[in-house]
């Protein structure tokens, strides 16, 4: 064989093949060349955190390389990336419920000496508690969350329904909300009611919890399954009924679809997070308000809480840069405000106060929502359970809610869930 006048012999050909097939081995070299940039792993395309990266670059001169996967795949992708050895990740978003699992696998770098003392007084105590596991601070709490009941004022007015109040005293029961939603729907609204995060554990844990049914696990290590009790059953029946009645729609299954439905003025009531305020307020002609998160009559008022923390990879070579970034996004008030992404809440007490005070200034319609959210964070917020079985709990409970939404009976679904979780938990090494 001759190439451009050069005769390629058998030996030359085989050497060439060997050379080409060895190219992947050069991968680590390019990774080493990139070690200068802090590599951040999160969800989506990075738009949500762009403000934070830009602000951090301004104060530190450090660039951040973002890599993302779909929201629902985030935590398990992190697990797989670290399991392969060279994860290519320095800093990553951590759902704090995964701290026990990540800790057991040795993924998270220890932050105790860097931030253990420094974070006291700056961050909400419940978030610090969530970042600590077996005596070590393993994550930097960054975002916080709560949930409110958004409503479309125009649709309510059209149905002659009075807009609900924003004070915690004006909290409605689920039955009342659904009754109003049906009225608004009868007056022409396409959909009466919806949860932003369809079927997700974070969003629906409050239903059985409001009735005293617990988070689905109990015992010292939270590995005893408890999802077939009366409260779960009652909550499940209620959840199934709103879809069976048609007041909630089975069609949208993604958070963005729920938000779009509300933004388009086709949904009367939406239980969602404060991060939506920035987006909703940009929509021209959308006249909306917010009310306290509903509860079950005879039960207690509870609201979802917590949000993403930041973790530092245990094997990162960029320790100083990573700690600097974690400090900025969590403990520096200005950084924490930017990290909350506009209208989301922060784990930083000062930042949350500033964000909350800005919301009613920018949205006169939402007067009083700052006091409401502060009340919820202090009085009704519940956390998701810290258990080594959270991976299984979240996935299987979410699937059970989905089955109930699609028309399966609550009793049979939760009975099956109970046995599936019990079996699944047997596989968890203690």
Partner 1 sequence: MAPLPFLAPALFALLAFRLLPAGWLVQQSLSGPQGEFAGLDNFEFLFTAPSFANTLQATLTFVAVTVPLQTAIAFGLALLFAENSRIFSPLRVLVFLPVFVPSSVAAILWGAAYRPQGLANALLGSLGVSAQPFLSSPSQALMSITVMASWIGCGYWMMFLIGGLKDIPRDLYEAAAIDGAGKLSSLWHITIPLMRRPLAFVIVADTVAAFLLFAPIAILTRGGPGGSTQLVMFDVYQQAYFFNDVSLAAAEGLTLMVIMMVIVLIQFRLLSREKQL
Q: Which residues bind partner 1 (CB under 8 A)?
A: 10, 14, 17, 76, 79-80, 83, 101, 105, 249-251, 391-392, 395, 399, 402-403, 405-408, 413, 416, 419-420, 423-424, 426-429
Q: Which is nearer to partner 1, 118 or 266 (CB)?
A: 266
Q: Which is nearer to partner 1, 175 or 422 (CB)?
A: 422
From the CB of 386, what's the least distance to partner 1, in Å?
Answer: 17
Whole-angstrom Cα distance, residue 67 to residue 313? 15
Q: Which is nearer to partner 1, 262 or 280 (CB)?
A: 262
From the CB of 246, what's the least distance to partner 1, in Å?
Answer: 10
Q: Which is nearer to partner 1, 160 or 429 (CB)?
A: 429
From the CB of 237, what's the least distance to partner 1, in Å?
Answer: 16
Whole-angstrom Cα distance, residue 307 to residue 407? 30
From the CB of 422, what's the least distance to partner 1, in Å?
Answer: 11
From the CB of 130, what's the least distance to partner 1, in Å?
Answer: 21
Strand partners, 225: 217
Closest among 38, 66, 127 to 349, alpha carbons compared: 127
From the CB of 221, what's the least distance to partner 1, in Å?
Answer: 16
Q: Which is nearer to partner 1, 80 or 256 (CB)?
A: 80
Whole-angstrom Cα distance, residue 126 to residue 133? 13
From the CB of 40, what's the least distance to partner 1, in Å?
Answer: 22
Q: Which is nearer to partner 1, 14 or 59 (CB)?
A: 14
At 336, give phi and psi (nearest 5°): -65, -35
Closest among 193, 159, 163 to 267, alpha carbons compared: 193
From the CB of 268, what's the least distance to partner 1, in Å?
Answer: 18
- Which residues have C-beta within 8 Å of that of residue 82, sequence separation ≥ 6? 89, 105, 107, 313
Q: Which is nearer to partner 1, 10 or 282 (CB)?
A: 10
Q: What does the block give as tokens for 162?
A: 């009075």
Closest among 378, 298, 337 to 56, alpha carbons compared: 337
From the CB of 205, what's the least distance to partner 1, in Å?
Answer: 19
Whole-angstrom Cα distance, residue 304 to residue 279? 21
Q: Which is nearer to partner 1, 185 or 210 (CB)?
A: 185
Rg from Cα positions in the chain:
24
Q: Which is nearer to partner 1, 147 or 413 (CB)?
A: 413
Q: Which is nearer to partner 1, 85 or 298 (CB)?
A: 85
From the CB of 204, what's the least distance to partner 1, in Å?
Answer: 15
From the CB of 338, what's the least distance to partner 1, in Å?
Answer: 32
Q: Which is nearer to partner 1, 76 or 256 (CB)?
A: 76
């Amino acid at each position: 064989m001759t190439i451009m006048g050069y005769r390629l012999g058998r030996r030359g050909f085989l050497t060439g093949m060997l050379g080409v097939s060895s190219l992947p081995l050069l991968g680590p070299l390019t990774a080493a060349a990139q070690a200068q940039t802090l590599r951040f792993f999160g969800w989506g395309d990075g738009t949500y955190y762009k403000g934070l990266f830009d602000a951090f670059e301004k104060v530190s001169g450090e660039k951040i390389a973002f890599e993302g996967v779909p929201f629902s795949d985030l935590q398990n992708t992190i697990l797989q990336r670290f399991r392969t050895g060279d994860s290519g990740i320095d800093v990553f978003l951590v759902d704090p419920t995964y701290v026990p699992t990540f800790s057991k696998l040795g993924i998270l770098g220890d932050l105790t000496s860097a931030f253990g003392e420094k974070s006291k007084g700056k961050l909400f105590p419940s978030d610090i508690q969530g970042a600590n596991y077996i005596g070590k601070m393993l994550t930097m709490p960054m975002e916080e969350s709560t949930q409110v009941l958004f409503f479309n004022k125009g649709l309510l007015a059209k149905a002659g329904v009075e807009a609900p109040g924003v004070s915690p005293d004006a909290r409605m029961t689920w039955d009342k909300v659904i009754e109003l939603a049906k009225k608004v729907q009868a007056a022409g609204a396409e959909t009466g009611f919806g949860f932003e995060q369809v079927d997700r554990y974070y969003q629906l844990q409050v239903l059985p919890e409001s009735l005293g049914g617990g988070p689905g696990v109990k015992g010292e290590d939270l590995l005893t399954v408890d999802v077939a009790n009366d409260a779960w059953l009652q909550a499940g029946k209620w959840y199934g009924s709103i879809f069976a009645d048609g007041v909630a729609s089975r069609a949208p299954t993604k958070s963005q679809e729920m938000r779009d439905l509300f933004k388009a003025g086709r949904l009367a009531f939406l239980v969602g997070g404060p991060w939506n305020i920035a987006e909703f307020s940009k929509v021209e002609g959308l006249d909306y308000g917010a009310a306290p998160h509903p509860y079950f009559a005879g039960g207690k008022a509870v609201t979802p809480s917590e949000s993403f923390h930041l973790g530092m990879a245990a094997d990162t070579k960029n320790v100083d840069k990573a700690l600097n970034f974690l400090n900025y996004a969590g403990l520096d008030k200005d950084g924490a405000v930017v990290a909350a992404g506009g209208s989301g809440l922060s784990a930083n007490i000062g930042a949350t106060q500033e964000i909350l005070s800005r919301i009613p200034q920018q949205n006169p319609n939402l007067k009083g929502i700052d006091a409401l959210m502060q009340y919820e964070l202090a009085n009704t917020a519940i956390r998701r359970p810290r258990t080594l079985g959270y991976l299984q709990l979240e996935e299987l409970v979410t699937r059970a809610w989905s089955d109930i939404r699609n028309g399966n009976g609550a009793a049979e679904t939760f009975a099956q869930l109970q046995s599936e979780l019990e079996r699944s938990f047997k596989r968890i090494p203690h």
